[in-house]
Structure 1
């Protein structure tokens, strides 16, 4: 599945679109039934998985690669546990999420509880903010690569699903954030470098 990513200037990109790109503000369209198993859609899914793993992130929606289709990919690999302080891992209810691919997903809130935690976005690179999200959701749709047609998620996995489905509706996490918590995640490095620092958009 994985392959080396090289620069490309046409969708599906090998990079994440950034806020300001119109594709992030439009409602993505459903994949038609006769295209679901096509080579075109399979190639887009493969590209999404490759980009997800190349950047070692936890979710990607097709619009983030410049493709205005209703497709999401999610994965929270076990190895991430070693990179996150145990107290944060537990507090934010993080857990392993196997590779999950949905075409035309529908998201249902199945609990009233909300949690507010810091959240970043690969399409708002270099920044984060506190975002409230529901603790439990149900996602239904057309599963690919072994994904069932319905999945109930909680905690951080539910947050990932809400974040990615938002992208399909032209919504970015900054639309839901507590604006007073909006933060440049590299502010300390910028100060230490006397302002001679950059936010990388590739890896």
Structure 2
């Protein structure tokens, strides 16, 4: 009898912790991410916006429209930063620079409600711009019109999407196993929240009381 009660208490505690640790629905943002490549290196997430970035001759810029949870899982442009392949036929002229530009419009799953990506999923071009031109100017030379919001955030490229800018959206799939839920994140060190610990303590206390009573009857 005492063993059964203790086992039930432990089982209840494990159930409480399991429920609290269940992954919550993740939230992401739908936006144009900005990528850079210097001298044929792989795509790297840009550390500044295209309006302030000043690429050099031979660099590549990538733009990808997607729903993302952050820089770690933002989708890369589907075309490699191949400057020779994109700008190889364009000769360098005095006072100008050549920038390879890749614009990836994403897939139907990334599109805002009521919109669809262009039939041509990727736009690639070689921008010939003055030597001090920004990344935004290089982009405009290949795929305009561009649309910005009041804070200069890039919202649309080549007319897509027609509306919205960086909206938060709910992911359909749950967060990966092991990721902290909002409640767990509030606790110190990412551990179980106070509610979980308090609930577990209550379960153990009830189990201990039952064991004590059973021993007295014996």
Whether these two folds match at TM > 0.5 is no
Which one has a bigger Cα radius of gyration?
Answer: 2
TM-score (norm 2): 0.27
TM-score (norm 1): 0.28
Higher relative contact order (CA 8 A, sep 6+): 2
